[in-house]
Amino acid sequence: MDTYSLLREFADSWALLALFLFFVGVMLWVIRPGSNKVHRDIAQIPFRNEDAPACDNNCPDCNCKSVALKFEEMSS
């Protein structure tokens, strides 16, 4: 049996099984109980150290105060 056929047979059987089990393990690790806090913290990374937009309240129909309040609620 040549090397190609041997490696092909291995990849079609045991390597496929190993990769599938690795995938299932990663999925179980992601959805494990207690990881929700970690995922929320990671999801908020783009919004850290970001200030609300400046407004001089001179625009017509200004709703910047309500937007700033929503922004503060989201960041806390």
The pLDDT tens digits for 24-44 are: 999 999 899 888 888 888 888
Q: How many domains does the chain have?
A: 2
Residue 30 φ then ψ, to 5°:
-70, -40
Same domain? For 5 and 37 the reply is yes
Same domain? For 9 and 35 the reply is yes
Contacts of 52 (CB under 8 A, 6+ apart): 67, 68, 71, 72
Same domain? For 13 and 35 the reply is yes
In this predicted structure, what is the pLDDT of residue 52?
A: 58
Q: Is the pLDDT of residue 9 over 70?
A: yes
Domain that holds residue 64: 49-76
Give the pLDDT mean for 71-76: 60
pTM (two decimals) = 0.48
In this predicted structure, what is the pLDDT of residue 28?
A: 94
Q: HEC states along 42-66? A: HHCHHHCCCCCCCCCCCCCCCCHHH
